[in-house]
Amino acid sequence: MSKCLKCNVMICDDTDRCPLCRHVLEVKTGQEKNYYPDAILVTKRFRFLENLLLFLSIVAVCVLAGINYTVNPDILWSVIAALVLLYVNVAFKLAVIGKSGYMFKTVMLVLIAVPVLLSIDYLTGYSRWSLDYVLPAGVLAMDLMLLILILVNRRNWQSYMMSQIFTLLLSVVPVILYLINVIHFPYLAWIAFGASAFLFLGTLILGDRRARTELKRRFHI
């Protein structure tokens, strides 16, 4: 193994010149260290943490269920704890171990959080706070993540247009629920719908030809 003093890289090939700058290489002798991160070891560590979290969650749910049944069986607060721990495990697997993009992780975490919080709302008397506030707030969180990703990845911003369309369609759900009298707090629902609509329209108008080309490529029109 040789080292280029100019590029500061290790060369594994049997050559006397750097393939990047053609500088003469310094020959390294003796036992060399592993210059690449041990990806397998890192994966095993995360896998162990995932299994440990799952095991501790199962133990915690069993203990809390026993306490709940013994002390106060009329109120199923242990089920709420189980739902929270379930979401924590899913969030750890998606956000930490998962290799998907930030937008996919955000969408999945929001979509999973809504039914979890809806279940908690139902178990605590169903005052509809999960639909009045959580659902439109989740849409706003996805809009914010989209805006951040577009600003950070300005050279490839048009790749997020499908995510914008999905978020826009999702923002219609709280409005429909309000119109059929399921939701009683309309302001956050309309704000979420407006934010999604303006974000998509802004991308479509400011993006001009690149935005239209992306839509034609996606929908074959």
The region that residue 25 occupies, defined by phi over 0 for left and psi between -120 and 50 for alpha, beta otherwise, is beta
pLDDT in tens, 81-138: 999 999 999 999 888 887 778 888 888 888 899 899 999 999 888 888 999 999 999 9
pTM of the model: 0.70
Q: For helices 39-71 and 77-91, what crossing angle results, to 10°? A: 170
pLDDT in tens, 160-183: 888 899 999 999 999 999 999 998
Question: How many other C-beta atoms can be found within 10 angstroms of the C-beta atom of residue 63?
Answer: 12
Q: Any bridge partners for residue 4, and if so which?
A: 9
169 alpha carbon, distance to own chain's centre: 19
Q: Side-chain half-sphere of 19: how many Cα atoms within 13 Å?
A: 8
